[in-house]
Structure 1
Amino acid sequence: MTLPLDLRGTVLALAAAQPVIDGATGGQKTYRSQPDWRISIAVAAPDVSAQLDIKVASDSAPDIAPLKEVVIEGLVATEWENSVGNHGVSYRAASVRMAASRNIRGGGEA
């Protein structure tokens, strides 16, 4: 089952985009003929917070900076199960980009 998700609240990239590696070949996985990238994000809303790893297919690594706000479009959650009975949920976005320059800073004065 695949469900569309609408993230409301502040969404921060936790790290730069990393290639999704195929454990069998050691090469980068592809999705619909494009290289696949993993981006770790944190979502903070008034009553909940979460950390998610999402995948996005793109010819080049999305230009994402750690601890900067991002905009995620076309996010879906998909249930998965493998042949040995492990199961979970994966997250995939149509696109991920930096938000208009609103940086999140910790401590001290801006």
Structure 2
Amino acid sequence: MKINIDNNLVELAPENTDEAQDLEKLWKLIVDCVRENKKLNPVGEYHPQKNSQARFHIEDIPAPEPRKTQWSTSKASEDNTFYCSICNKYIHIVKDQEIPLCCGREMEPIE
């Protein structure tokens, strides 16, 4: 996907048919010709050195039902608050408790 930024205007240009279909799907979710259009709000952080994707929440689209927490086999070395750098979820974990998984990876301790 080619992205062009011109001041306050962002242009997305698909470079293959899959991207064209995904852009059309996104367009249909965001654009409402009768009422107000939905907004994209950034979630977490985007650092190309750490990960290859940026995440956004589409305003006014309800989230799916929360999933049951999954736990890793790693245990916390001390009482600490852990967070997910992708979705910004926080949870307090006590020493020797398993570290939860979130967004496909272990949550990180707040230092």
**TM-score bracket for the superposition, by shorter chain length:** under 0.3
Point out the structure with the larger helix share.
Answer: 2
Instruction: State the TM-score, normalized to the length of structure 1.
Output: 0.25
TM-score, normalising length: structure 2? 0.25
Which one has more relative contact order, counting CA pairs under 8 Å at least 6 apart? 1
